[in-house]
Amino acid sequence: MVLHPFQREAIYSELADALGPDYVSVSASDRLIYTGDWSWMSQVWLDRGEQPPLPDFIAHPGTPAEVCAVLQIAARHSLPVVPWGGGSGSQGGAAPLYGGIVLDTKRLDKILEIDERSLTVRAQAGVIGTTLEWALNERGLTLPHYPSSANCATLGGYLAARGSGVISTKYGKAEDLVLSAEVALPNGTLMRTLPVPNHASGPGLLQLFVGSE
């Protein structure tokens, strides 16, 4: 979408107020970095020397509340939002085809809890796969999901891609390993799915979000 210069400045000011000016970018070089992932479509643009679609803004929220603030700003201005983890996807899910805001999750990089008794972990979406794996290894544990992109993919990307890894035939794919998730909805509100068994009554809301790429 094409933004009027006045509209572009207003949106930038809102994002900078919400996140801090250090965590919002409109520079040409930054916008070019976030034009695609490892999909064939992104590679075709590079091979042809063509200009891929550019995002208008790069936002780096550091808390769930800041994620919600970015989504609320986008909703007010009818801007598309493209979540960005490690940029290692192969299906074009990170390409900002219609401009808008790229929401980079890598500042959401905290491992919140490792429960050795329940064998569960709570972590934010921007945690790199190998970072979590190393933290678990220190306690004699491992994450039973290890894709080839583990050294650069994020946990949010694991779930968005609904991917599999080298030991998925034994332990299951990403969607089989997640118990619950806190999700920021497009209108900027947070919801948390409940860690209930799959056979419980009612719709399985968690699986509406897993595979969202």
Cα distance between residue 130 and residue 126, in whole Å:
12
| Residue 16's CATH number | 3.30.43.10
Domain count, the chain: 2
Phi, psi of 30 (to 5 degrees): -65, -40
Within its chain, how far is the Cα of 61 from the centroid?
11
- Per DSSP (E only), the strands in the chain are 24-25, 57-59, 81-84, 101-104, 111-115, 120-123, 182-184, 190-192
* Residue ending a domain, choose from 51, 83, 104: 104
Tokens linked to 155: 């946990």
DSSP letter (8 states) at residue 98: T
Range of the domain at 202: 111-209
- Please give the structure tokens belonging to residue 168: 């998925």
- 51 and 66 in a common domain: yes
Q: From first to last of the 213 residues of the chain, give the pLDDT tens digit.
A: 788 889 999 999 999 999 999 999 999 999 999 998 877 777 788 788 888 899 999 999 999 999 999 999 999 999 999 999 998 887 888 889 999 999 999 999 999 999 999 999 999 999 999 999 999 999 999 999 999 899 999 999 999 999 888 889 899 999 999 999 999 999 999 999 988 776 666 777 888 899 888
